[in-house]
Structure 1
Amino acid sequence: MYLLVQSIQSRTLLDAAEGKNLARLARECFFNHQPLILDFVNVEQVTAHFCQALLCPLTNEFGADYLNQWLQIKNPSSHVRQIIQSAMGELDDYFDCLERAQVQSADQEITTLNCLWLIKARDLCRDNPLFAGFMLGISDKALIEAIGRLSIEDIEHIAQSGWLCFAPRISNHFFEYMNRKQHTAVDVLLTLREGLNHGG
């Protein structure tokens, strides 16, 4: 995909919001096996936050070698080139901060649940996409393809994100029914206990 960066410009200076938008677009391209060419022609001013929001997360998610192959930056001005080089020079600090945050927030039970779910989801998406939709609720074709391409390293990385990767599919009506059923059972047990106590 070829994109004139100037076309996304809502302000005279590109900042973190535009960087995040471009990062989302890049992910879509990569998941669909499409390279992305960003043409900075006529773009004279960007902030460090723009480059960090664009390049740091993508490097963390896909790796530098992958970006070198699938992401191309054309026609940067000397100022833009300098800011990009500066942002790339701060990647070590970014990864250190990210690792500290993950260590602090990671819950081992959540990590285990994520690993188990992602492994099962990957296997079904690869071997039986129909069952992936039926059993796990994964019906989006692009999502099925993306999950099916995950490596075990990808799964371990995602699993340690600190949040659950899947959501309940059961409606609140089901839980309400179960709660009512449990209360009824408790009431019966209490009644039996009272009868036994009186009988003794």
Structure 2
Amino acid sequence: MISLANMFNKMTLSVEQGKRVHKMTREYLLTHDEPVVIDCAGIGELTAGFFQQLIFPLVAEFSGQIINNRVVMLNLSDAQLDIYQAACDQAGDYVDELLVEHAPTNEIADISLDFLIMAREMARMDPDKARIVFGLNTAMIEVIVLMDYETMCQIAKSGVMCFQPRFSHFYARNLANDELSPIDVFINISSKLERIYER
């Protein structure tokens, strides 16, 4: 549980405190399966800026549905609850603006960003599947699960593909001459997982 009264010796919490609580909440969501509980008891005023700094980035990274299910606000006064709900209602607009601001500008960047987002979500939900589907090793999984949207956009905007082919040029050259089933192709490619991203 995150107790705001224990964290801050203040009766009014605003933007800077919201950033600190967001950081703690994000780390908890990434490392625990159970919901994170934020106790607001003993705090006189929680400003709109506090809730915006706490909620907006979480919705952008994890989705509103996950935040509704895994972030529990305790002991909110009626006034604080109104401000919190208003921030949740505005989160969609924030995400839309973020997507426009950081959107990749070319087709290669679009593909790379889609790959990174899918790889991150699969690595969070099913690391073993991510190893097979994306060729991620343990070190890469540990890194990609922590990436935020802005970082992925920065990588994608480089204009180069973020994932390389997982088959040799010899195999690709001979593939047209061999009548292989999809499972044969799968076995050939997935057998080389340990070498992916080691460099």
What letter matches 2:15 in structure 1? A
2:87 is matched with 87
CA contact (8 A) 2:56 2:94 kept: yes
What letter matches 1:164 in structure 2? I
Q: Does 1:132 align with 2:137?
A: yes
- Alignment CA distance shift 1:86-1:139 (3 Å): closer
- TM value normalised by structure 2: 0.58
1:63 is matched with 63
- TM value normalised by structure 1: 0.58
Within 5 Å, which residues of 2 pair with 1:51-200?
A: 51-103=51-103, 106-108=104-106, 109-116=108-115, 126=128, 132=137, 138=140, 140=142, 143=143, 146=145, 158=149, 161-164=152-155
- Alignment CA distance shift 1:30-1:160 (3 Å): closer
CA contact (8 A) 1:110 1:163 kept: no
Instruction: Quote the offset at 1:38 in angstroms.
Output: 0.7
1:46 is matched with 46
Task: Return the alpha-carbon distance in structure 2 between the equivalents of residues 10 and 52 of structure 1.
Answer: 21
Q: Tell me the alpha carbon deviations over residues 26-81 of structure 1, each in whole angstroms, 9 at most, x when there is no partner.
A: 22222222310111111111111110111122122222221222111111122311
2:177 is matched with none
| Superposed CA RMSD | 3.7
Unaligned runs of 5+ in 1: 148-154, 166-200
Q: Secondary structure at the match of 1:90?
A: helix
Task: Return the alpha-carbon distance in structure 1 between the equivalents of residues 118 and 89 of structure 2.
Answer: 35
Q: Secondary structure at the match of 2:45?
A: coil
Task: Return the alpha-carbon distance in structure 1 between the equivalents of residues 116 and 109 of structure 2.
Answer: 10
Instruction: Quote the offset at 1:159 in angstroms.
Output: 8.8
1:5 is matched with 4
CA contact (8 A) 2:59 2:95 kept: no
- Alignment CA distance shift 1:93-1:112 (3 Å): closer
Unaligned runs of 5+ in 2: 157-199
What letter matches 2:83 in structure 1? I
Percent of aligned positions that are identical: 18
Which is helix-richer, 1 or 2?
A: 1
Q: Rg bigger for which structure?
A: 1
Instruction: Quote the offset at 1:20 in angstroms.
Output: 1.8
